[in-house]
């Protein structure tokens, strides 16, 4: 997979115009959802100066990350005269960058695209690394392609439009990057409030470090044959928590579910691969303090276990975990039996008290 050009800035300036003018693109299409069309497109329009573009807008929310929305983007590209030399610029959160990336990967067998992520979660995760796709048959990201963006422009100016919960959601993926990288980065993340944007300079630097951690891993294993699975830390239990809350009155934001999943998977790491208990307890306290508690009882364990069994990362009927031997010391392809997983769920609930 080709390397993505990742740029990080605090305000848009003339960066979007430079990106569009830097290559031989013949037409520019800008994909937004109904929120970013309202709140972010005006900023981008100003930054693009007089560069003409065709706007394409889709409904917001993961519910619309489907084949019908994808088809509407293909239609807009086709009717707008997009060619293999056109650029699709995706302006939005992970839903827009995933779906837009897949539309670009498939239209005329592939046109070029750029991502301009507007949420912290998409800045540090979804918009980087070339995974594109849509949900299909009730399964998340069931159909997609690995296809790198030409450019990812991360502009922290957009973070000021986010509420505390969405900032905390993205910060959970940053914490995961801390855990799989170095003790120094992990410790620095533990010193901040996840929803705090007051020190924009420090936050931009931490985001940059987070993105570089992901970029280093993706460049070594773009197609997730091995090392890239490190990015799944917290996600096996996290996805089960996310699905578990999906049909309730309070569906969890992705990053919240990942944070809660990290508590359980660090517990498994302590039990199976020697992760230090002091780091387990410190991280657990930090997560409980900032991401609140998911309420469930031991009657829910079989349902959660069954959701983990259906995780698409599994092979041969065993649940696949990425665990840690220590901070930055990754143990891939670990497995745990039902009793130990129940013990990890016990640990989660006991430490909530
Ligand atoms: N979100 C995990 C990955 O990009 O591999």
**Domain identity same for 168 and 74:** no
**Domain identity same for 185 and 90:** no
Identify whether the C-beta of residue 87 lies closer than 8 Å to the C-beta of residue 29: yes
Q: How far is the CA of 326 from the centre of ligand 1 (A)?
A: 21
Q: Give the pLDDT score at 246.
A: 85
Distances (CA, A) of 184 to 189, 236, 328: 9, 26, 10
Asked if residue 135 has pLDDT above 80, the reply is yes
**Domain identity same for 20 and 50:** yes
Cut 0.85: pTM above it = yes
Interatomic CA distance for residues 259 and 261, integer angstroms: 5
Length of the chain: 353
- Give me the mean pLDDT over the 75-97 stretch: 98
* 3-class DSSP state of 88: strand
Interatomic CA distance for residues 196 and 194, integer angstroms: 6
Q: Tell which of 161, 177, 196 closes a domain.
A: 161
Q: How far is the CA of 229 from the centre of ligand 1 (A)?
A: 8
User: For residue 322, what is the enclosing H or E element?
Assistant: strand 320-326
Domain residue limits at 152: 5-161
**Domain identity same for 131 and 280:** no
pLDDT averaged over the chain? 95
Identify whether the C-beta of residue 233 lies closer than 8 Å to the C-beta of residue 339: no
- Give the mutation target among 228, 238, 322, 330 for probing the ligand 1 site: most ligand atoms within 8 A of CB: 228
**Domain identity same for 185 and 314:** yes
Q: Give the pLDDT score at 353.
A: 78
**Domain identity same for 213 and 120:** no
**Domain identity same for 279 and 347:** yes
Residue nearest to atom 2 of ligand 1 (CA): 231
Q: Give the pLDDT score at 317.
A: 79
Q: Tell which of 95, 126, 161 closes a domain.
A: 161
Check which CATH number belongs to the domain holding 41 and give it: 3.40.50.1970
**Domain identity same for 321 and 209:** yes
* Residue 229 Cβ contacting ligand 1 at under 6 Å: no
- Confidence bin at 75 (pLDDT 50/70/90): very high
Burial class (CB in 10 A: 0-12, 13-18, 19+), 130: buried
Query: Which residue, among 317, 305, 298, has the nearest Cα to 341 in the 3D structure?
Result: 305
Identify whether the C-beta of residue 155 lies closer than 8 Å to the C-beta of residue 211: no
* Residue 125 Cβ contacting ligand 1 at under 6 Å: yes
- Give the mutation target among 232, 242, 257, 322 for probing the ligand 1 site: most ligand atoms within 8 A of CB: 232
**Cβ-Cβ contacts under 8 Å for 92 (sequence gap 6 or more):** 31, 32, 33, 35, 36, 40, 100, 117, 118, 119, 122
**Domain identity same for 194 and 324:** yes
- Give me the mean pLDDT over the 263-275 stretch: 98
Give the CA angle between residues 41, 209, 149 to the nearest 5°: 45
Q: How far is the CA of 96 from the centre of ligand 1 (A)?
A: 16
- Confidence bin at 286 (pLDDT 50/70/90): very high
Identify whether the C-beta of residue 294 lies closer than 8 Å to the C-beta of residue 245: yes
Identify whether the C-beta of residue 256 lies closer than 8 Å to the C-beta of residue 168: yes
Instruction: Using the atom order of ligand 1, give the atom closest to the CA of residue 217.
Output: 5
- Give me the mean pLDDT over the 32-45 stretch: 97
**Domain identity same for 269 and 204:** yes
Instruction: Using the atom order of ligand 1, give the atom closest to the CA of residue 129.
Output: 4
Check which CATH number belongs to the domain holding 256 and give it: 1.20.1090.10
Q: Give the pLDDT score at 9.
A: 94
Asked if residue 4 has pLDDT above 90, the reply is no
DSSP, res 247: T
Q: Tell which of 161, 178, 197 closes a domain.
A: 161
**Domain identity same for 179 and 322:** yes
- Confidence bin at 249 (pLDDT 50/70/90): confident
Provide the number of structural domains found in the chain.
2
Question: Using one digit for the tens of pLDDT, what is the confidence trace for 296-352?
Answer: 999 999 999 999 998 878 877 789 999 999 999 999 999 999 999 999 999 999 999
**Domain identity same for 174 and 144:** no
**Cβ-Cβ contacts under 8 Å for 170 (sequence gap 6 or more):** 119, 120, 121, 122, 123, 124, 125, 255
Q: Give the pLDDT score at 3.
A: 81
């Amino acid at each position: 997979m080709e390397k993505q050009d990742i740029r990080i800035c605090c305000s848009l300036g003339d960066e979007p115009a430079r990106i569009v003018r830097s290559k031989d693109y013949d037409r520019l299409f800008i994909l937004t959802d109904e929120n970013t069309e309202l709140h972010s497109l005006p900023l981008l329009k100003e930054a693009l100066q007089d560069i003409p573009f065709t706007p394409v807008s889709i409904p917001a929310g993961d519910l619309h990350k489907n084949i019908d929305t994808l088809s509407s983007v293909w239609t807009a590209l086709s009717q707008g005269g997009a060619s293999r030399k056109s650029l699709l610029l995706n302006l939005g959160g992970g839903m827009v960058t995933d779906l837009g990336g897949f539309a670009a990967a498939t239209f005329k067998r592939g046109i070029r695209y750029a991502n301009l992520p507007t949420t912290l979660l998409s800045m540090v995760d979804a918009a980087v690394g070339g995974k594109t796709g849509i949900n299909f048959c009730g399964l998340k990201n069931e159909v997609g392609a690995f296809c790198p963006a030409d450019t990812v422009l991360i502009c922290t100016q957009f973070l000021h439009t986010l509420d505390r919960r969405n900032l905390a959601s993205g910060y959970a993926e940053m914490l995961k990057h801390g855990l799989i990288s170095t003790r120094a980065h992990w410790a620095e993340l533990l010193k901040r409030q996840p929803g705090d944007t007051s020190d924009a300079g420090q936050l931009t630097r931490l985001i940059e470090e987070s993105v570089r951690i992901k970029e280093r891993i993706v460049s070594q294993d773009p197609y997730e044959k091995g090392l890239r699975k490190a990015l799944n830390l917290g996600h096996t239990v996290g996805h089960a928590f996310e699905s578990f809350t999906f049909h309730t009155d309070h569906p969890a934001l992705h990053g919240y579910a990942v944070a809660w999943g990290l508590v359980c998977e660090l517990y498994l790491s302590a039990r199976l691969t020697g992760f230090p208990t002091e780091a387990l307890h410190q991280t657990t306290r930090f997560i409980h303090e900032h991401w609140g508690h998911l309420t469930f009882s031991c009657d829910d364990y079989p349902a959660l276990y069954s959701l983990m069994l259906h995780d698409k990362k599994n092979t041969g009927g065993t649940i696949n975990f990425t665990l840690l031997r220590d901070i930055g010391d990754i143990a891939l392809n670990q497995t745990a039996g039902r009793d130990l997983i129940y013990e990890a769920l016990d640990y989660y609930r006991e430490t909530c008290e």
